[in-house]
Amino acid sequence: MTTIETTLDEIASRLLQADRVLFITGAGVSADSGLPTYRGVSGLYNGEHTEDGLAIEDALSGEVFARRPDITWKYLAQIEETCRGAQPNAAHLAIAELERYLSRVTVFTQNVDGLHRQAGSSEVIEIHGNLQKLVCTGCDFSESVDDLSGHQLPPLCPACGSVLRPRIVLFGEALPEAAMDHFLAALDEGFDMVFTIGTSGVFPYIAEPVAWAAQSGIPTVEINPLQTRLSPLVDYHLPLGAARAMTAIMTRLRAARA
């Protein structure tokens, strides 16, 4: 019978043989840092309308932002507030530590919280952008902010007075081209193991690389306490939280290398 322990052993031994590893992450990798996920238990998008009478996906859309930036900013600020002060957890730190043992560790994340970089990962592709970078909708002005607490909402450009926006992908907007090009180039160069952690895999650009890896015979691992649409695709599903799973894998890896 396969137990979680034997699955962890197998994943660690696969990782020992690997050299180039891809981590595809979503909100669940930051759940152990206290951040909410979008869907599922205590998800932000659980079907409720916002107090402005809009679905949250509409409030956070490019279209509403263009018309009513005050509405979009109200919910962006709430998300920013929940991210504020969050620290990388054992899963973010383990992924960063793996750079010591492997020649390439690429992180392709949907998260806008910046925690992979904060943990020290050096190759992080933020496909939905980053909440800490503000850009002007009217001119070239941009700035990095740790915290929005001192800003008026919506924040205005100090150079031209237009509304600022975070450099994130709002609903209905295109993905950042440079980030997608970086990811496609990395896929082209190849990986010998693929992990997906804490994502429900709703977007094709998340599910397709996992399906492609599995079909190409590259070992695939999913870390998620729940089953997702990715679960039937992967070789190993670990029904654990991200921090616990990555800690258990790293313990085995360090022991084997000692």
Residue 110 is a binding residue for ligand OAD (CB under 6 A): yes
Q: Which is nearer to ligand OAD, 197 or 249 (CB)?
A: 197
Closest contact distance (angstroms) between CB of 180 and ligand OAD is: 14
Q: Which is nearer to Zn ion, 163 or 194 (CB)?
A: 163
Residue 32 is a binding residue for ligand OAD (CB under 6 A): yes
Q: Convert residues 205-224 into a mask of x (bound to ligand OAD by CB under 6 A) and - (unbound).
A: ------------------xx
- The gap from C-alpha 195 to its chain's centroid, in whole angstroms, comes to 12
CA atoms within 13 A on the CB side of 37: 22
SS3 125: strand
Residue 203 is a binding residue for Zn ion (CB under 5 A): no
Q: Look up residue 134 and give its two tokens.
A: 């503000």
| Nearest-CB residue for ligand OAD | 28
Q: Look up residue 148 and give its two tokens.
A: 């929005």
Residue 128 is a binding residue for ligand OAD (CB under 6 A): yes
Question: Of ligand OAD, Zn ion, none, which one does residue 160 interact with (CB within 5 to 8 Å by kind)?
Answer: Zn ion
Distances from the Cα of 120 to the Cα of 92, 108, 131, 161, 172, angstroms: 8, 14, 18, 35, 31
Out of 128, 151, 182, 237, pick the active-site residue: 128
Q: Which is nearer to ligand OAD, 7 or 157 (CB)?
A: 7
Residue 184 is a binding residue for Zn ion (CB under 5 A): no
Nearest 5°: the CA angle 151, 156, 160 is 145
Active site residue 92: no
| CA-based torsion, 166, 152, 79, 172: positive or negative | negative
Q: Convert residues 80-119 into a mask of x (bound to Zn ion by CB under 5 A) and - (unbound).
A: ----------------------------------------
| CA-based torsion, 85, 86, 90, 92: positive or negative | negative
Query: What is the DSSP secondary structure assignment for residue 171, as one 8-state letter?
Result: B
Q: Which is nearer to ligand OAD, 43 or 120 (CB)?
A: 43
Residue among 141, 205, 212, 236 that touches Zn ion (CB under 5 A): 141
Q: Contact at 8 Å (CB) between 108 and 125?
A: yes
Q: Look up residue 72 and give its two tokens.
A: 């979009």
For Zn ion, the binding residues (CB under 5 A) are 136, 138-139, 141, 157, 159-160, 162
